Each structure stands twice: as C-alpha cells, then as structure tokens.
Structure 1
Amino acid sequence: MAPAPTTRFCLVRHGETDWNIERRLQGQIDIQLNDVGRQQAEQLSRALAHAGHGFAALYVSDLARARQTADAIARHNGLAPIATPDLRERHFGPLQGLTYAEAEVRIPDTYHQFKSRDPSYVPGQGESLACFHRRVKDFLDQVATRHPGQTVLVISHGGVLDIAYRMASGLPLTHQRDFPIPNAALNWISHSNGRWTLERWADESHLEHSRDEV
C-alpha cells in the first residue's frame, strides 16, 4: 500500500503592530501593521521567494494585519491570498483593546479566568478556548484534505499558531504556553493519514526584528 500523502503547512504570524509593542490584546479588532511590521513582511516575502517552496495556495486571516503581511508575500511569490474569517484571532470579548495590566485592574475576574486557560470559559461575548480550537482545527483539517501532498502557506495570528502547535505536538489546551510565537517567523507542521506532526518552529533567521506573541 502506498504511504498517505503528506501536506506541509508553513504557518506565519502577521508582522508587528503598535498594539503588540504595548502588550494590548487585539483579538478581532482590526489593527494595521506598524513600520517594523511592514519591514518584516517584506523580509519574509523575499525569504520565501528565495527558498522556492512551491506553495500550492496562500490562506490568510481577513483581518488587516494578516492581509497586509500576505499582500507583501503575494507581490514577490505569485500567490493570490485567499482570505477567510476562519483564520481570525480568538475573540477575547471585553479583554479586547486592553493591555494585560489594564485588564487585570479593570476586570480582574475576567482576566484571571482568561489566564487560567479553562477551555470552556467564555469571556463576555467572546469565544471560548474550546470553540476557538475547534474553529482552527476544522479549517486546517479541511485545507489538508484539499491539498494532499502539497505545501501551503498560512498567514494568521498568535492564537491560531498556538492552537496549531498544540495540535502537532500534543500539548494540552490547559497548559501554559512554553514556546515562542514571534511576528513573521516561519513555523512548519505537516499532516498525513489523519495525524499532525511538528517539523520546525519559530525560524527568525530572515528577520531583523521580531516580537513574541503575548
């Protein structure tokens, strides 16, 4: 029997924003890249063009910071970005727009429940970790089925990459994150025969500046 085809994913968190610098929770608020973020997108685009991975498709969150990062890649790599809300960051409810320090003071109960990583907890009108996980996993599973044996590029957000890492490594949702998710770094996972595998993570060799997901 022939081995099952392997679909490879290159996952990228968008370039830097001013809110990243401020440690402000962006969630699904539509924030633009800053100057460093735009520079990172260009560095990323050139690195991908030089590497010649032969991507079959480019999927991107429909939020501006991800679309701007993908647009830079498209200019140098001949890929048409496919935007989708399925790749949006988690909706953080009343935490969106606040820094971590502000949230801890203004809405301490919400903040501490959020930090506990209880998968079932819903912050206000936001999204539970369990629902967010299901949204991301369902989408990536669909893309893997759509592109058997191919390599695809995904531009999204820190939270989405957090879920992808846990899918590929087996780290539970309830465990605190112990791995980096820098802006505009390259992260590789693969899918074959219904299983996800972690290949390589947080490659920043093409960047002059990067900032970890908060």
Structure 2
Amino acid sequence: MDKFDSLKMDIQKLLDSDKIVLILIRHGETEANFTKQLSGWHDVKLTEQGLKEGKELSKAFQILRDRFSGIYSSDLSRARITAELALGSGEKIQISTELRELNFGDHQNKVYSSENKSIYETLFTMKYQAPNGENWNDLKNRIMNYLKQQIKGKGVYLIFTHGGAIFSLTNQFGYTNTIKNCSCIGLELDCNTLEIVNQLFYWEFPTL
C-alpha cells in the first residue's frame, strides 16, 4: 500500500464516523515557496512541481469527492488549482477570500531567512504581527468564522488553503512551522461549539 492509498483509507474511516472533521490541505509548491518569500495575498503561480503534486493528490481525493459535506478553497490560484487537480474538477469547490493566507502587510514578498532577523525570529510565534497586516489569531478567527457559517452538521469538510493558514489552526498542537506542500491535516471540531478539539491525523506528501 502506498502513501496515497493510506491517506484514502484514513479519510474513508472519517467519512463513516460520527464527527465533524476539517481536512486542511496546503497548496502545491510555488516559486515563492522555493525562494522563501512571504507571498501572502499575492497570487503567485504553482511551479511544474506544484502542478505535479496536485495531480498526485487525485489518487486519494478524486474517488471520494462526492462524499464530502463541503469542499472549499482560497480564491488564490495556487490553492484553487491544487483543489481542481486533486479532485479532477472544480465543480464542487466553493471559493472564498476568507481562506487566504495571512495578510503580511509591509512584509509582503519579503524573504523569510535568518538574514532577516526581524521576521525570522518571530514569524512562527504568537508574537508575530505583520505591519499593516494580520497576526495569527486574526487569521485563525477569519478562517473559523467563515467555516462555522458553512458547517451544517456532522461530516467531513475539505479545505484547500495555505501553509500559514493551517499553522494558525494547528499551532495549539505544537506545530512550529508550516507543513509541507500538498500535505494535509485532519482536525475534529466540537459538535456544539465548532471549536477545534483534536488532531486526528497528519499526512505528509511523499517526495516525488
């Protein structure tokens, strides 16, 4: 059994469970990921590698696409195209600006490296505040407020979004950086409050 079959089986188990589950998927590789730029709301394109990664995800998601209670994507093309490739169609995807990456404000397109200490030392901490932009709690609240309006009951909801967006929802479980491109995480929500209560799985995209 390869990693994609394993992911498909994990999702099938959740589809048959009595839970509210978010499956968060990071988009494929972009040029900004490769150069370590904070692309934020800038609409950067997927690389050839990123397109290939999205197509590979279809091994797990395309056969299941009619079973999700909702499918959502950031409007930025790197997330939207990853979703279309993974599902084999854009027909069922609801697009929203609320699922965008962190608004990096004045740090937009800055390079994330140890040479830029003002960003590097605080970026993946709760101290980080993008000048004229958002902080991680702003981003978490933006995403969760949107998703709570979409959730109509128990089921599995699929969200294609960004590394920072996923970090804002998972740092409570000890994450200190973004997950790998096209990797995904399953989170359980409380059925009454719709707050995140548990991480169900983390699946890392294999090296191609």
* TM-score tier after normalising by the smaller chain length: 0.7 to 0.9
Identity %: 24
Out of 171, 179, 193, the residue aligned to residue 181 of structure 1 is 179
- Equivalent residue for 2:13? none
Q: Contact 1:7–1:147 (CA<8 Å) still a contact in 2?
A: no
Alignment-mate amino acid for residue 204 of structure 2: D
TM-score by length of 1: 0.76
Name the SS of the counterpart of 2:40 in structure 1.
coil
TM-score by length of 2: 0.78
- Equivalent residue for 1:137? 144
Pair 1:22–1:179, CA change in 2 (3 A): closer
Name the SS of the counterpart of 1:82 in structure 2.
strand
Instruction: For residue 72 of structure 1, report the CA deviation from its aligned partner.
Output: 1.2
User: 1:123-164: per-residue Cα shift (whole Å, max 9, x none)?
Assistant: 222112332222122223333xx2311111100000111122
Instruction: For residue 52 of structure 1, report the CA deviation from its aligned partner.
Output: 6.7
Pair 1:190–1:208, CA change in 2 (3 A): same
- Equivalent residue for 1:174? none
Name the SS of the counterpart of 1:29 in structure 2.
coil
- Equivalent residue for 1:17? 30
- Equivalent residue for 1:43? 56
User: 1:78-105: per-residue Cα shift (whole Å, max 9, x none)?
Assistant: 852111011000011122112123971x
Alignment-mate amino acid for residue 156 of structure 2: T
Q: Contact 2:27–2:161 (CA<8 Å) still a contact in 1?
A: yes
Name the SS of the counterpart of 2:113 in structure 1.
helix
Determine the C-alpha separation between the residues in 2 that align with 1:180 and 1:92: 15
User: 1:20-79: per-residue Cα shift (whole Å, max 9, x none)?
Assistant: 111111111100101000000000022212467821221000011001111213425x85
Pair 1:163–1:115, CA change in 2 (3 A): closer
- Equivalent residue for 2:85? 72
- Equivalent residue for 1:202? 203
1:148 aligns with 2:146: no
Q: Contact 2:41–2:76 (CA<8 Å) still a contact in 1?
A: yes
Name the SS of the counterpart of 1:139 in structure 2.
helix
Out of 101, 113, 116, the residue aligned to residue 101 of structure 1 is 113
Q: Contact 1:8–1:151 (CA<8 Å) still a contact in 2?
A: yes
1:54 aligns with 2:62: no
Instruction: For residue 113 of structure 1, report the CA deviation from its aligned partner.
Output: 7.5
Unaligned runs of 5+ in 2: 1-17
Determine the C-alpha separation between the residues in 2 that align with 1:116 and 1:188: 21
- Equivalent residue for 1:30? 43
Instruction: For residue 112 of structure 1, report the CA deviation from its aligned partner.
Output: 6.2
Q: Contact 2:106–2:130 (CA<8 Å) still a contact in 1?
A: yes
Unaligned runs of 5+ in 1: 172-176, 210-214
1:123 aligns with 2:130: yes
Out of 76, 79, 88, the residue aligned to residue 100 of structure 2 is 88
